[in-house]
Amino acid sequence: MVVAIDGPAASGKGTLSQRIADAFGFAHLDTGVLYRAVGVSVLRAGGDPADNTAAARAAYELHPEHPILQEVALRTDEAAQAASKVAAVPEVRAALLDFQRRFATHPPGGAPGAVLDGRDIGTVVCPDAQAKLFVTASVEVRAERRLKELQRRGIPAISSDVLEDMKARDARDSQRAVAPLRPAVDAFVLDTSALDADQVFSMAVAHIGSKTGLKPAA
Ligand SMILES: Nc1ncnc2c1ncn2[C@@H]1O[C@H](COP(=O)(O)OP(=O)(O)OP(=O)(O)O)[C@@H](O)[C@H]1O
Ligand SMILES: Nc1ccn([C@@H]2O[C@H](COP(=O)(O)O)[C@@H](O)[C@H]2O)c(=O)n1
């Protein structure tokens, strides 16, 4: 059983995916972490994330037990911007495909299903997923959510910079030639601009139930 959850930055797809995974006893893979790890690896090697050769090399070196995948450094805006540059390189996407598909078909810990969140899960990575959601919100709402998150974590940030960075990342992610950010034709599009996380969770559970017949445990 695979649940695919896609959407732009700070739309709430990671929060939703973890809750869905917990509720159904599924394993969760935040695929953005893989692209962030590749971007950070390139930066650390002194390279340019937009350089195809450097990005592809870093992607082929990544494996599920690589320690970089656990680093908090992946959560920075610098890592996010580098991720969206390496993500436009076709060889990088190809190198990360097996990793993601293997997680979907063989969820760790013998879990009965997997939730993958990203940009192209429903369109490219798992086109046969039993349930697909595309979680979105206006760019202003998403920037506000990210700003509050940064403030909560004690990271100084300027509202206008967060908004501009998000617009730049949205543009790169949706305009790239390979696997651009867009809803799968059979995805349930959930605009969360005016919904809190509990409302989003309830709507997602109802959609997954309608597609699979599954109900969350307890
Ligand atoms: N429905 C919601 N209403 C308000 N805030 C939300 C909602 N969903 C998530 N959030 C908050 O918004 C922020 C971004 O959420 P989250 O990290 O889940 O987004 P994301 O789409 O996974 O982002 P990214 O792609 O950058 O990893 C978090 O601080 C989260 O707590
Ligand atoms: N399936 C995916 C997942 C992510 N990306 C790229 O990585 C960047 C960071 O992702 P977050 O989910 O952690 O924000 C994102 O901006 C994309 O460029 C991707 O291409 N495909």
Q: How far is CA 124 from CA 128, 141, 180, in A?
A: 9, 27, 10
Minimum CA distance residue for ligand 2 atom 1: 118
Ligand nearest to the CA of 14: 1
Cα separation, 63 vs 124, in Å, equals 20
> For residue 70, with 0-12 CB atoms within 10 Å meaning exposed, 13-18 middle and 19 or more buried, which class applies?
exposed
- pTM of the predicted model, to two decimals? 0.97
Confidence at 218, pLDDT banded by 50, 70, 90: low
Pick from 142, 145, 196 the residue to mutate for probing ligand 1's pocket: most ligand atoms within 8 Å of its CB: 145
> For residue 136, with 0-12 CB atoms within 10 Å meaning exposed, 13-18 middle and 19 or more buried, which class applies?
buried
**Ligand 1 centre distance from Cα of residue 14 (Å):** 7
**Coil, helix or strand at residue 50:** coil
Whether ligand 1 lies within 6 angstroms of the CB of 190 is answered as no
Q: E-strand spans in the chain? A: 2-6, 27-30, 114-118, 131-136, 188-191
- Torsions phi, psi for 216 (to 5 deg): -65, 150
Pick from 119, 120, 136 the residue to mutate for probing ligand 2's pocket: most ligand atoms within 8 Å of its CB: 119
What's the mean pLDDT in 200-213?
98
pLDDT, one tens digit per residue, over 53-111 is: 999 999 999 999 999 999 999 998 899 999 999 999 999 999 999 999 999 999 999 99
What's the mean pLDDT in 131-155?
95
Least confident of 14-23, 58-67, 149-158: 149-158
Cα separation, 92 vs 109, in Å, equals 27
The alpha carbon dihedral of 67, 69, 73, 78 has a sign of positive
Cα separation, 100 vs 30, in Å, equals 10
Specify the ligand 2 atom closest to the Cα of 169.
16
ipTM score of the complex? 0.98
